[in-house]
């Protein structure tokens, strides 16, 4: 006869996994994509924008990085209705996570763009490329290889941070565990199970991250070898 805890784990596994596939993963993918776009725009503004826009971008990054994500979610979901702005739980989570990820990724993107030698810009200009063409064809491909490890780490952290969406009633994986625990009175078993599911997801993503980094590293080495060969000839 199966022990009661094992039965509980089996019965709760699919509801939690379902919540993960229908809310946790979509929330992660949507907010990371939007956050990358926002971060890229903010990084470009801080590096190349006019001073008034630079000041606004700096204030945004300072504000978001200096306040807890949990507080940001509470402000969007619970505080905005007091001034007549009412948003759904999932929409609030998307906005909150996007703003948060945008601030952090903007610093990563800004640093990687700065890491590309200025000589690359000069070389692009010397062959008649415009600023936009130089950025798209020369600078971004080099910066992307540098940005992959920190951005991948941000993505993995975001998967775990989505558990905070439970506090604004988004029915993601952790909230599913909380609801089952409230009925079964077995929080230790259920929260441990939720932690293991998060651990499995993070481990899979970490493995994919390692393969992605290795692939880009090989491409970079091959390109450098080709350049060296061309210079010798």
Residue 101 has pLDDT above 70, yes or no: yes
pLDDT digits (tens, 9 = 90+) for 182-219: 999 999 999 999 999 999 999 998 898 888 878 777 66
51-65 helix and 25-48 helix, angle to the nearest 10 degrees: 140
pLDDT digits (tens, 9 = 90+) for 31-61: 999 999 999 999 999 999 999 999 999 999 9
What is the CATH code of the structural domain delimited by 5-228?
Answer: 1.10.3720.10
Predicted confidence at residue 214, as pLDDT, reads 80
Q: How far apart are CA 41 and CA 106, in angstroms?
A: 8
Confirm whether pTM is higher than 0.75.
yes
Q: What is the average pLDDT across 18-30?
A: 93
Chain mean pLDDT for the chain: 89
CB 168 within 8 A of CB 78: yes
pLDDT digits (tens, 9 = 90+) for 127-180: 899 999 999 999 998 998 889 889 999 999 999 999 999 999 999 999 999 999
Residue 225, burial from CB neighbour count under 10 angstroms (0-12, 13-18, 19+): exposed
Distances in Å between the Cα of 117 and the Cα atoms of 133, 143, 229 are: 16, 10, 21
Distances in Å between the Cα of 168 and the Cα atoms of 48, 172, 222 are: 37, 10, 48
- Domain segments of the chain: what residues? 5-228
CB 19 within 8 A of CB 165: no
Name the band, by pLDDT with cuts 50, 70 and 90, for residue 67: very high
Predicted confidence at residue 231, as pLDDT, reads 43
Residue 222 has pLDDT above 70, yes or no: no
């Amino acid at each position: 006869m199966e022990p009661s805890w094992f039965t509980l784990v089996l019965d709760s596994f699919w509801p939690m996994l379902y919540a993960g596939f229908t809310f946790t993963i979509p929330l992660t993918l949507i907010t990371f994509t939007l956050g990358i776009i926002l971060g890229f725009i903010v990084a470009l503004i801080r590096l190349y924008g006019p001073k008034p826009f630079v000041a606004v971008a700096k204030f945004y990054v300072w504000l978001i990085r200096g306040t807890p994500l949990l507080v940001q979610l509470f402000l969007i979901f619970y505080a905005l209705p007091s001034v007549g702005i009412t948003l759904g739980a999932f929409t609030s989570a998307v906005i909150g996570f996007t703003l948060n990820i945008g601030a952090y990724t903007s610093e990563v993107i800004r640093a990687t763009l700065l890491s590309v030698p200025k000589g690359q810009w000069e070389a692009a200009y010397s062959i008649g490329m415009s600023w936009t063409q130089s950025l798209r064809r020369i600078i971004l491909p080099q910066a992307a290889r540098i940005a992959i490890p920190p951005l991948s780490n941000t993505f993995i952290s975001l998967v775990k941070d989505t558990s905070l969406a439970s506090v604004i009633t988004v029915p993601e994986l952790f909230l599913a565990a909380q609801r089952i625990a409230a009925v079964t009175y077995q929080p230790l078993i259920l929260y441990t199970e939720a932690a293991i599911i998060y651990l499995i997801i993070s481990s899979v993503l970490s493995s994919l991250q390692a393969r992605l980094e290795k692939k880009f590293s090989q491409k970079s080495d091959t390109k450098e070898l080709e350049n060296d060969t061309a210079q010798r000839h």
